[in-house]
Each structure stands twice: as structure tokens, then as C-alpha cells.
């Protein structure tokens, strides 16, 4: 008997191990989220209770806090910061937009007995957050007029598990310009923000530069830390402004973010805020 030749497997249609074939799942919704490195367009932001909104008509909140920002005081120790993301879910071919909170930071205000490296700091709780950072205060200007400033620095763990500064993230300094409360600069020394105050005492955050999501998150968080510090120290102007800005229909806090503008040089450093 003549032996049959072996089959030619190259002629057979075998499945590829590089390709995974699965049956479609019609019950599990498909979720589409914003890319991590997305660039945000300019927007005006304001505080309303526990939320931060943009001035887009009927827009949802952008951020949610565990505390009403207008009632933060020196006895508060921890504030949770969440970004509110619109998420599109598609089920059975029907898309639906829902809001999903993403925990980004825990804002901390340690007691003096803890000998903190920073009087206020933000601890990143997610890989979506840019970095942890703390705030310290400084004075700039001349003998006749001292301007108060806030320096926000990246934090890393040093000896004894204590936080230490690891480079400037943002700085905010009182402005000499009429109607401008604070001017913000980034780590490159470029002005990136202005807090604008109108004739009614309302302050808003008007973002005029495109910015990556994680940078905007850090800027907004730093802004709230600055407000918290002012309220804790009994700043009557800050308290009045925050009370006005507690409800969208009554008023708001605002800040303007700019790009490619000359920067302010920081000089005299201070302790505490």
C-alpha cells in the first residue's frame, strides 16, 4: 500500500493567534471617555457652593468638593476634590451622556502641632492628577507697598516621610492693576491666570489659554487652596466675595488665564500664609 502524503497545512485556513475573536456583547454598554492628554479650550469658571462651573449656558459642574467652599475655615482639615466628567455610554445602539466623578486630590490643612512642611497642600489620589503640591506665602514689591503672594510647589517625600518642595508649579501674587485681584504665573515664569473682580465685588476665573486637563485641574485646585487660606485667616473681603458667590444666580468667583504675557519676579519670601 502506498503511503498518503501529509496534508498541506498551509492551504488550510487556520485561526491567527494575533487576532482574538469574541462574540458581540449587547448587554454591556460601551464607555467613551475624554483622552487623558486632551487640551481644554478657554472658559470662565466660578464657584457656587460645593461646585465649580463654567459660564457655558446650562453646563454641568466641572468640579465637586466635599465642602461648601464659601464655608471653609481654619478648623477644616481635609477637603475632597473631584472632577466631573461627561461620559458617553452606548447601549443597544443608543448613546447617553452621564456624569462621572473622578477623585483627584485631597486638600489637607494640618494642625500646627504636626509641624507641617506646608500649611495647606493637595495630595494627588489618582494617576489622572498632575502631582501633589503645597502652598507657602511670600511678599513682593517695595518698601512703600508690599504685595502678598502664594507659591505652589510640587511635593515629594523627604527624610522622615516629611514633604519637601520639588519645584514651583504656580505662583499667585496680588496685582497692581485695577479690577485684578491676583495674577498667576506658571513654572516657566509666564503669566497664566488673573482673578478678576468686578464692581459688585464678584471674582471669577476666566481661562483664556488652551491648557491640558491635568494642568487645569491643578490650577483650579490651587485657586481653591488660596481661597481657603484667605477665609481661614479671616479675610473679610474673601468672606464677602465667597458669600456672594455661593449661588450662581447671585454671583460668582472668577479668574482669568492668559498665555504669552510677561511674568512677575518674586522677591521676598515669607513663612506661612
Can you give the pLDDT of all 273 residues of the chain as single tens digits? 555 555 454 444 443 434 333 433 433 444 444 555 578 888 788 999 999 999 876 789 999 999 999 899 999 999 999 999 999 988 788 888 899 999 999 999 999 999 899 999 999 999 999 999 999 999 887 777 789 999 999 999 888 778 888 899 999 999 888 888 898 889 999 888 888 877 777 778 777 778 899 999 999 999 999 999 999 988 755 544 444 444 444 444 554 444 433 333 333 344 467
Q: What is the pTM of this model?
A: 0.76
Distance between CA atoms of residues 228 and 238, nearest Å: 9
Whole-Å CA distances, 80 to 104, 122, 124, 227: 8, 10, 10, 15
Q: 271, 137 in Cβ contact below 8 A? A: yes
The H or E element that residue 256 is part of is none
Residue that the C-alpha cell 513654572 belongs to? 187
- The β-bridge partners of 63 are 52, 83
Distance between CA atoms of residues 271 and 118, nearest Å: 9
pLDDT at position 177: 87
Distance between CA atoms of residues 180 and 1, nearest Å: 101
Closest CA to 77 of 45, 109, 107: 109
Burial 5-18 (b: 16+ CB within 10 A, else e): eeeeeeeeeeeeee
pLDDT at position 272: 62
Distance between CA atoms of residues 9 and 1, nearest Å: 24
Closest CA to 74 of 244, 268, 234, 219: 234
Under 8 Å CB-to-CB from 250, ≥6 apart: which residues?
244
Amino acid at each position: 500500500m502506498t503511503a498518503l502524503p501529509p496534508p498541506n497545512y498551509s492551504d488550510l485556513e487556520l485561526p491567527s493567534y494575533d487576532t482574538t475573536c469574541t462574540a458581540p456583547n449587547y448587554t454591556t454598554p460601551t464607555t467613551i471617555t475624554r483622552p487623558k492628554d486632551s487640551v481644554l479650550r478657554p472658559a470662565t469658571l466660578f464657584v457656587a457652593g460645593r461646585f465649580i462651573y463654567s459660564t457655558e449656558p446650562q453646563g454641568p459642574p466641572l468640579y465637586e468638593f466635599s465642602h461648601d467652599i464659601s464655608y471653609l475655615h481654619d478648623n477644616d482639615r481635609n477637603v475632597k476634590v473631584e472632577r466631573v466628567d461627561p461620559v458617553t455610554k452606548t447601549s443597544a445602539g443608543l448613546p447617553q451622556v452621564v456624569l462621572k466623578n473622578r477623585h483627584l486630590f485631597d486638600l489637607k490643612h494640618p494642625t500646627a502641632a504636626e509641624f507641617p512642611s506646608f500649611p495647606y497642600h493637595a495630595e494627588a489620589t489618582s494617576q489622572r492628577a498632575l502631582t501633589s503640591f503645597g502652598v507657602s506665602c511670600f511678599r513682593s514689591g517695595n518698601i512703600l507697598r508690599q504685595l502678598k503672594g502664594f507659591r505652589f510647589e510640587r511635593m515629594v517625600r523627604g527624610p522622615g516621610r516629611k514633604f519637601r518642595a520639588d519645584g514651583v508649579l504656580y505662583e499667585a501674587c496680588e496685582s497692581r492693576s485695577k479690577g485684578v485681584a491676583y495674577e498667576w504665573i506658571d513654572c516657566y515664569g509666564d503669566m497664566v491666570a488673573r482673578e478678576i473682580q468686578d464692581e459688585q465685588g464678584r471674582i471669577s476665573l476666566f481661562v483664556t489659554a488652551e491648557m491640558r486637563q491635568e494642568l487645569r485641574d491643578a490650577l483650579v485646585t490651587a485657586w481653591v487652596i488660596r481661597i481657603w487660606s484667605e477665609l481661614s485667616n479671616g479675610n473679610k473681603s474673601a468672606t464677602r466675595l465667597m458669600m456672594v458667590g455661593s449661588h450662581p444666580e447671585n454671583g460668582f468667583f472668577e479668574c482669568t488665564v492668559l498665555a504669552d504675557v510677561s511674568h512677575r519676579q518674586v522677591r521676598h519670601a515669607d513663612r506661612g500664609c
